[in-house]
Amino acid sequence: MKITFILPAIGKKPGKKYIGTWKMEPLTIAVLKALTPDDIETELFDDRTELIDYDTKTDLVCITVETYTAKRSYRIAEKFRERGIPVVMGGYHTTLCPEEAVLYCDSVIVGNAETVWNDMLDDLKNGSLKKVYRGGIGEYDIQPDKSIFEGKNYLPVSLVETGRGCCHSCEFCSISKFYCSKYYSRDHGLIVDDIKKSKHRYTFLVDDNLVADRRNAISLFEDITPLNIKWAGQGTLSMAKDENLLRTMKKSGCEIILIGFESLNKANLEQMNKSFNYAIGERDELVKRIHDAGIGIYATFVFGYDNDDERTVNDALEFAKKHNFYTAAFNHLLPFPNTALYDRLKADNRLIYDKWWLADGYNYGELAFEPKLVSAEKMSRLCRDARKEFSSAKTVLSRGFASLGRTSPLMWGLFWGMNLRLGEEVDQKMNVPIGENLDELPK
Ligand code: B12
Ligand code: SF4
């Protein structure tokens, strides 16, 4: 028996290159590979960087589906199903809206695969595949099998999970919906073992909020300190309130932490249910503490909330420049299906597309709803212009020199290449047609 795994791309512009900074190893596939019994042959097509062989001899196609990749996943599935090959789907999108995904495949796994993967494979062998399998959430003691990445030429960074979910309930967030606002920590012995087995010294701890459980975070950082790795991760600004946490984090090899500031506007933070983090007046001091601890910040902002206009985008840009962040993202708000944000915008009749992820002509970078104070087009342009300005040579230069000494010399060296490349990619990413150009050869 053979299983073909597919990681779909968002879409491709005709004749254009794949965007390099996204070329990370897909950890999801390594987990599914590890769950698969050894006597089953496996292969992986990473649609972001290679052509899918639709004629491959296989017994089952498994596609991991995010909302941005849903349209393309359904198109890929159709091609295999025309040949009579069953297709199973799982991931964030299918968990958020299984009723849609079942229309395009033979079977959907809702939630995590760990508890139902082998039942699904048994049913397949017996010819009794069910339409929907409901996996648990948060139970995982499996070690990813990264042998499936051999020959794929990904960025030299190992992705490692230290937990799943998050205890908060931000209005726009798919994670809080998927994990019902709960955090599930992973056994530290497994994490240490996972890191030891990883090929690269640089590690991305993929959890969405590493510091969700502060005591667990401190003990984890102590446990990974002897491994002598350098890592980046994601967390909330409130981490800076605890100096011991920051110290332990740095000591364990933390170089960069991604912080979702989202907005500088108090009313926006309240509307998105993310005002739990800190009092507005503390923000600058908390940023300073993280920098003083020797950790660089990847700051992310989101625009489109009801108090956002040209001024609030500009305020965020100036704030990011003032603090000389290692890097930053200026994203527009996007209503992911089944989130509280989606339901609110739909109830207010503000969605431009009912299902933007399937809509004809919907492109990456476009807003899918009408913001209150500026038009959808204008908000998209404001975000693009903020990215351009933040990655302009002048801003990169000033941020680069301010970062000197803040991170290790190697991360400082990487700063230049990464930031200049991000600048180059701003317009390459804009307007990628979602789901389109399936047979376009990656370059
Ligand atoms: C690492 C990461 C990235 C990396 C690499 C992505 C990759 N494909 O490998 C980078 C930085 C490039 C990235 C980019 C983006 N990402 Co990202 N990313 C993540 C992150 C942090 C970790 C993913 C991961 O490895 N998880 C660990 C694996 C084991 O968990 P899992 O994927 O959930 O898989 C389990 C189940 O879902 C299920 N399952 C999943 N797939 C399948 C398939 C089958 C067949 C079955 C049976 C089961 C199954 O079983 C698995 C094991 O239990 C997640 C958040 C998260 N913590 O998961 C966001 C996340 C997936 N990203 C997200 C987004 C939005 C993006 C971007 C669009 C951001 C942007 N604005 O540009 C881009 C575009 C990505 C793309 N598709 O090209 C969203 C997706 C939301 C959604 N509704 O789809 C997430 C959930 C983050 C969030 N806060 O909402 N991302
Ligand atoms: S803190 Fe981050 S991961 Fe947690 S619910 Fe909010 S946005 Fe999602």
Kindly list the structural domains of the chain, giving each domain's residue range(s) and its CATH number in brackets, ordered by start.
2-134 (3.40.50.280), 156-407 (3.20.20.70)
- Indicate whether residue 171 lines ligand 2 (CB < 6 A): no
Mean pLDDT of all residues in 407-421: 87
Q: What is the arithmetic mean of pLDDT over 182-193? A: 95
Q: Report how far residue 217's alpha carbon sits from residue 249's, in angstroms, rounded to the nearest whole number.
A: 8
Q: Is 173 in the pocket of ligand 2 (CB under 6 A)?
A: yes
Residue 430 has pLDDT above 70, yes or no: yes
pLDDT value at residue 442: 58
What is the pLDDT, as a whole number, of residue 19? Answer: 66
Share of the chain above pLDDT 90, in %: 83
- Structure tokens that stand for 387 in this block: 């990215």
CB of residue 170 inside a 6 A radius of ligand 2: yes
For 168, the token pair is 């908060």
**Polymer length of the chain:** 443
For residue 440, with 0-12 CB atoms within 10 Å meaning exposed, 13-18 middle and 19 or more buried, which class applies? middle
Q: Which of 74, 92, 191, 298 has most ligand 1 atoms within 8 Å of CB, for mutation?
A: 92
Q: How far apart are CA 202 and CA 199, in angstroms?
A: 9
The mean pLDDT of 230-251, rounded to a whole number, is 96
Q: For residue 362, what pLDDT is reported?
A: 96
Please tell me the distance between residue 209's alpha carbon and the centre of ligand 2 in angstroms: 7
Strand, coil or helix: what is 437?
Answer: coil
Per-residue confidence (pLDDT) for residue 97, from 0 to 100: 96
pTM: 0.96
Q: Would you say the CB of residue 259 lies under 6 angstroms from ligand 2?
A: no
Neighbours of 290 (CB within 10 A): 23
Whether residue 20 has pLDDT greater than 70:
no
Considering the chain, what percentage of its residues have pLDDT values greater than 70? 98
Please choose from 66, 106, 164 the residue to mutate so as to test ligand 1's pocket, defined by most ligand atoms within 8 A of CB: 66
Confidence of residue 31 (pLDDT cuts 50, 70, 90): very high
The model's confidence at residue 423, banded by pLDDT at 50, 70 and 90, is confident
Taking the centre of ligand 1 as the mean of its atom positions, its distance from the CA of residue 66, in whole angstroms, is 7
pLDDT of residue 108: 98
**Residue 281 DSSP class:** G
427 pLDDT above the threshold of 80: yes
Is the Cβ–Cβ distance between 32 and 73 less than 8 Å?
no
Burial bucket for residue 140 (CB in 10 Å: 0-12, 13-18, 19+): buried
- Testing ligand 2's pocket by substitution, the residue of 96, 164, 167, 170 carrying the most ligand atoms inside 8 A of its CB is 170
Q: Would you state the torsion angle of the CA atoms of residues 436, 440, 441, 443, taken in this order, to the nearest 10 degrees? A: -60
Find the mean pLDDT for residues 307-322. Answer: 97
Ligand closest to 239 (CA) is 2
Return d(Cα 168, Cα 405) in angstroms, integer. Answer: 33
What is the structure's pLDDT at 441? Answer: 63
DSSP 204-260: EE--S-TTSSHHHHHHHHHHHGGG--EEEEEE-GGGGG-HHHHHHHHHTTEEEEEEE
| H helix or E strand, kind and range, residue 41 | strand 41-46
Q: Which residues sit with their C-beta closer than 6 Å to ligand 1?
A: 7, 10, 22, 24, 26-28, 31-32, 62-64, 66-69, 88-93, 96, 109, 112-114, 159, 161, 173-175, 206, 208, 331, 336
pLDDT, position 17: 67
Instruction: Taking residues 237-242, report their average pLDDT.
Output: 94
Mean pLDDT on 101-105: 98
Q: Provide the mean pLDDT of the chain.
A: 94
The atom of ligand 1 lying closest to the CA of 114 is 53
Atom of ligand 1 nearest to the CA of 207: 57
CB of residue 177 inside a 6 A radius of ligand 2: no
Ligand 1 centroid – CA 217 distance (Å):
22
236 Cα to the center of ligand 2, angstroms: 8
- Of the two residues 140 and 64, the one the predictor is more confident about is 64
Residue 18 has pLDDT above 70, yes or no: no
Which residue has a Cα nearest atom 6 of ligand 2? 170
Q: List 6's β-bridge partners, or say none.
A: 45, 63
How far apart are the CA of 354 and the centre of ligand 2, in A?
24
